[in-house]
């Protein structure tokens, strides 16, 4: 009787061992699959992050190219390649720091001086207006803005240096954006002056838009020409 009990227990033990083996195999397979899925998820997240970085770097590179080509189009032979590269570096950093379109400053340069670093503004009468350089700044305004950046502007000759004109002019424009909370009003004030814009706002007089529309037209022209030039690149 005892032998029968022992013999009958053997198949049960075998079944139990088989079940345990299957269960262990399933758990092992599940664990291996989980590890593989986790690794795939990590890899996918890393690839997504790299793709985002790649797109960011690509956009930054395109922005830089847009700026350089825009300056080349605007200035023609009025600036050297070294000057255009230096200004592209400056405008690229400024556009990132202030968060505005990289072609905005070249469009204002186009409007103000046609890309001539040695430009000196004149009234219709022919008398000098006191505005100098690429962004046609007046010395008192440039001195006030330049102090914030450690830039010393002694006279108009300093504003004939492209890097000074662009840095100070961009900062002045961004100060106007902060003052009025509106890019359109800021661009109008860049030409008309803060006093003129404030006076018209107080009196309820419509702001003149000719200058703004001219800048906008030049911006669109630069967009088109830059895209055409990039399209010609291999």
Question: Does residue 39 lie in a domain region?
Answer: no
> In this structure, is the dihedral angle defined by the CA atoms of residues 130, 135, 140 and 146, taken in order, positive or negative?
negative
Instruction: Decide: 115 and 105 in contact? Cβ < 8 Å.
Output: no
122 sits in which H/E element: strand 120-122
The mean predicted confidence, pLDDT, of the chain is 85
pLDDT of residue 57: 67
Question: Does residue 142 lie in a domain region?
Answer: yes
Tell me: pLDDT of 13 over 70. Answer: no
Instruction: Decide: 119 and 132 in contact? Cβ < 8 Å.
Output: yes
Token pair of 173 as six digits: 């424009």
Question: Does residue 20 lie in a domain region?
Answer: no
pLDDT of residue 60: 74
Token pair of 176 as six digits: 């106007």
CATH of residue 163: 1.10.530.10
Q: How many domains does the chain have?
A: 1
User: Domain span at residue 137?
Assistant: 52-231
CA triplet 147, 153, 156: central angle to 5 degrees? 145
Question: Does residue 70 lie in a domain region?
Answer: yes
Question: Does residue 204 lie in a domain region?
Answer: yes
Tell me: pLDDT of 154 over 90. Answer: yes
Tell me: pLDDT of 68 over 60. Answer: yes
Distances (CA, A) of 163 to 87, 101, 124, 146: 6, 19, 28, 12
pLDDT of residue 51: 56
Torsion on CA atoms 154, 156, 160, 161, rounded to nearest 10: 0
Question: Does residue 120 lie in a domain region?
Answer: yes
Tell me: pLDDT of 6 over 80. Answer: no
Tell me: pLDDT of 125 over 90. Answer: no
Q: Is the model more confident about 200 or about 229?
A: 200
Question: Does residue 112 lie in a domain region?
Answer: yes
Neighbours of 85 (CB within 10 A): 14
Question: Does residue 210 lie in a domain region?
Answer: yes
The C-alpha atoms of residue 2 and residue 52 are separated, in whole angstroms, by 74
Q: Is 17 left (phi over 0), alpha (psi -120 to 50) or beta?
A: alpha
């Amino acid at each position: 009787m005892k032998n029968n009990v022992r013999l009958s227990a053997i198949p049960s033990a075998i079944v139990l061992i088989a079940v345990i083996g299957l269960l262990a195999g399933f758990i092992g397979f599940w664990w291996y699959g989980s590890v593989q899925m986790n690794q795939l998820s990590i890899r996918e997240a890393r690839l997504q992050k790299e793709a985002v970085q790649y797109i960011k770097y690509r956009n930054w590179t395109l922005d830089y190219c847009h700026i350089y080509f825009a300056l080349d189009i605007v200035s023609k032979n009025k600036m050297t390649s070294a000057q255009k590269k230096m200004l592209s570096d400056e405008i690229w950093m400024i556009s990132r720091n202030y968060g505005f379109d990289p072609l905005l400053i070249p469009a204002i340069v186009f409007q103000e001086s046609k890309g001539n670093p040695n430009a000196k503004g004149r009234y219709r009468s022919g008398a000098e207006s006191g505005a100098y350089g690429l962004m046609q700044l007046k010395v008192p305004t440039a001195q006030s803005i330049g102090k914030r950046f450690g830039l010393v502007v002694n006279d108009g000759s300093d504003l004939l240096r492209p890097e000074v004109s662009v840095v100070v002019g961009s900062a002045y424009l961004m100060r106007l954006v902060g003052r009025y909370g509106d890019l359109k009003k800021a661009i109008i004030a860049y030409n008309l002056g803060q006093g003129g814009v404030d006076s018209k706002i107080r009196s309820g007089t419509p702001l003149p838009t000719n200058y703004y529309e001219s800048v906008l037209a030049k911006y669109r022209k630069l967009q088109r020409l830059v895209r055409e030039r990039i399209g010609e690149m291999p």
